[in-house]
Amino acid sequence: MTTVGLALVRELAVAVQAPRMLYLHWPFGHALGEPGQRDQQRTILHDAFALARIAPHPGLVVDLPYQWRRHAYAPVMDWATESETLREAMERAEAIC
Amino acid sequence: MTQDTRITPGNRAREALARWADRSPLGQRVAYWIGRTAGGIQLRLKIKGRADIPWTPMNKPLAEATVALVTTGGVHLCTDQPFNLSSDASFRVIPRAATSDALCISHDHYDRRDAARDINLVFPLERLLELEQEGVIGHVADVHYGFGFVKDPLELIAAGRKVGAQLAQAGVDLVVLIPG
């Protein structure tokens, strides 16, 4: 069984040593974003599903760069392919590793 | 039930702090610092020395996978017993048929007002059901799990293993873990 976690405190995401984590610099209680923002919520699920599929090794914590209330979210068109945002965020995470 | 009645009332001082933390940039920084310091130190001390990080690759396309949610946002059926707000390592089972107005939140370490308006912020079951309908994911699992606030993360190990076993027994392929 594969797991992917969302995190709102980066240091906890690292400390917990989970297989795959996506970190969002957003307020507590808002892991999927803002109320009623369906495209935003689906974007986060898209990134989570993609990380579950393509994460190369255990323990990766990927910082998603979406800024709280300052990012416009388009509908997810291709669920089978990871977003450019996630791909770049993974490259940054791997560089830190 | 209304949005307000679906939130289990908590400690007033903590409630005020959580609302301040949610609504102001300074509050968000302070809340983050508290979470990082208190939770981070505790976890580092207690998880220190674990040899291997568990790893199960996705062995099935998403369009064929069964997906489940585990939230630590204090979500449970309103008909179930609320979590003890001071610390509670038990879990609640949430069926896939649960509608958002049948779900309550018992957790006073974050501002739950937005989550009460849209439960998908901490428990995106409606989003998953949409994706199942669209054929993006294979199936939404029959049951999902909610946890509340826990002071000592070690207390979660037994409950976590039990939930993991139940998810595996249910044939779940992918679990999305969501914090409060």
Q: Residue B104: helix, strand or coil by DSSP?
A: strand
> Cβ(B143)–Cβ(B76) under 8 Å?
no
pLDDT digits (tens, 9 = 90+) for B70-119: 999 999 999 999 999 999 999 999 999 999 999 999 999 899 999 999 99
Closest CB to B178 among A6, A11, A18: A6
Closest CB to A27 among B22, B50, B124: B22
Q: Is the Cβ pair B18, A28 closer than 8 Å?
A: yes
Please give the Cα distance from B45 to B41 (Å, whole number): 6
If pLDDT is split at 50, 70 and 90, which confidence band does B45 have? low
Phi, psi of A89 (to 5 degrees): -65, -35
Q: Is the Cβ pair B112, A18 closer than 8 Å?
A: no
* pLDDT at residue B18, as a whole number: 79
Give how far Cα B2 sits from Cα of B74, B83, B90, B103, B156, Å: 17, 19, 26, 11, 31
Please give the Cα distance from B74 to A36 (Å, whole number): 20
The one-character DSSP state at B39 is I
Encoded amino acid at A59, one letter: G
B134 pLDDT more than 70? yes
Q: Which two tokens stand for residue B73?
A: 């946002």
* pLDDT at residue B74, as a whole number: 97
| Segment holding A4, helix H or strand E | strand A2-7
Mean of per-residue pLDDT scores for chain B: 90
Q: Is the Cβ pair A17, B47 closer than 8 Å?
A: yes
Query: Minimal Cα–Cα distance from B177 to chain A, Å?
Result: 4
User: Closest residue of A to B174, CA-based?
Assistant: A2
| Residue whose pair of structure tokens reads 């903590």 in the numeric block | B14
Mean pLDDT of the A35-55 span: 98
Phi, psi of B43 (to 5 degrees): -65, -45
Task: Tell which residue, B50, B146, B105, has the closest CA to residue A18.
Answer: B50
Closest CB to B43 among A16, A41, A42: A16
Least confident residue range of A12-26, A63-77, B11-25:
B11-25
Task: Tell which residue, A55, A41, A40, A43, has the closest CA to residue A3.
Answer: A55
Please give the Cα distance from B37 to B33 (Å, whole number): 6
> Cβ(B107)–Cβ(B6) under 8 Å?
no
Q: Is the Cβ pair B110, A28 closer than 8 Å?
A: yes
B47 pLDDT more than 70? no
Please give the Cα distance from A24 to A2 (Å, whole number): 20
